[in-house]
């Protein structure tokens, strides 16, 4: 890879997933506010956020390969981002209980020449019915508060999940197989570009 990779995310989960590819990378948070626009579809919101995060970091790291992602949980076309507080997290978990929801992760890549590429991965997750006591115990753990949909598949909430259709790494925050293919494509394109 001629341009070192920059992960435009402060997420420890994305960092751990990307490390599985064995590529050297640097982590730089974009620190953008994540607010949907009025009437914005969940898919469009995730894609816009991933692109904006990548662009914000690319401004500071020109000539580098920038990778950004945004994950959202969608139930009945309602967007569940990171909860604002305990009440919001409780509301989300109650809504997800006994239901199937979608997890969308948009990934944006800006190459060394400033060109954009992106992808959108979708997984479907079915929760078993949750008791009020289970929800409160999970909220007490503190895991819910920095995750879309107020849960993390890689943590204690795994016990809530009846099944996952699609990429589990997508649910955690980075669809690693799709990201690997995206990076291979760009690394190959860079290698084929004459100096």
Domain locations in the chain as residue ranges:
5-192
136 CB neighbour count, 10 Å cutoff? 12
Contacts of 6 (CB under 8 A, 6+ apart): 25, 26, 27, 28, 57, 61, 64, 65, 66, 67
When pLDDT is cut at 50, 70 and 90, the band that residue 182 belongs to is very high
- Rg for the chain, CA atoms, rounded: 17
For residue 34, what pLDDT is reported?
83
What architecture is the 5-192 domain classified under in CATH?
A: Alpha-Beta Complex (3.90)
Q: For residue 112, what pLDDT is reported?
A: 86
Give percent of the chain above pLDDT 70: 94
How would residue 1 be classed by pLDDT, with cut points 50, 70 and 90?
A: very low
User: What is residue 2's predicted lDDT score, i.e. its pLDDT?
Assistant: 41
Confidence check: pLDDT of 67 > 50: yes
Count of other CB atoms within 10 angstroms of residue 70: 26
Query: Which residues are catalytically annotated?
Result: 70
pLDDT of residue 115: 92
Q: What is the pTM of this model?
A: 0.89
Is pLDDT at 140 greater than 60 in this prediction? yes
């Amino acid at each position: 890879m001629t341009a070192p990779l920059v992960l435009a995310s402060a997420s420890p989960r994305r960092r751990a997933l990307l490390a599985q590819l064995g590529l050297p990378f640097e982590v730089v948070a974009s620190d953008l506010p994540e607010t949907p626009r009025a009437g914005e579809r969940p898919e469009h919101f995730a894609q816009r956020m991933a692109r904006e995060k990548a662009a914000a970091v690319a401004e500071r790291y020109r000539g580098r390969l920038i990778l950004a992602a945004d994950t959202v949980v969608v139930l009945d076309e309602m967007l569940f981002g990171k909860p604002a507080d305990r009440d919001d997290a409780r509301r989300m978990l109650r809504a997800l209980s006994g239901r199937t929801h979608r997890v969308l992760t948009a990934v944006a890549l800006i190459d060394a020449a400033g060109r954009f590429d992106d992808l959108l991965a979708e997984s479907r997750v079915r929760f078993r019915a949750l008791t009020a006591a289970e929800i409160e115990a999970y909220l007490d753990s503190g895991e819910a508060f920095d995750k879309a949909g107020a849960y993390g598949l890689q943590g204690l909430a795994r016990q809530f999940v009846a099944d996952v259709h699609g990429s589990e790494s997508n649910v955690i925050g980075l669809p690693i197989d799709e990201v690997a293919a995206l990076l291979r494509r760009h690394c190959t394109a860079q290698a084929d570009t004459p100096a």
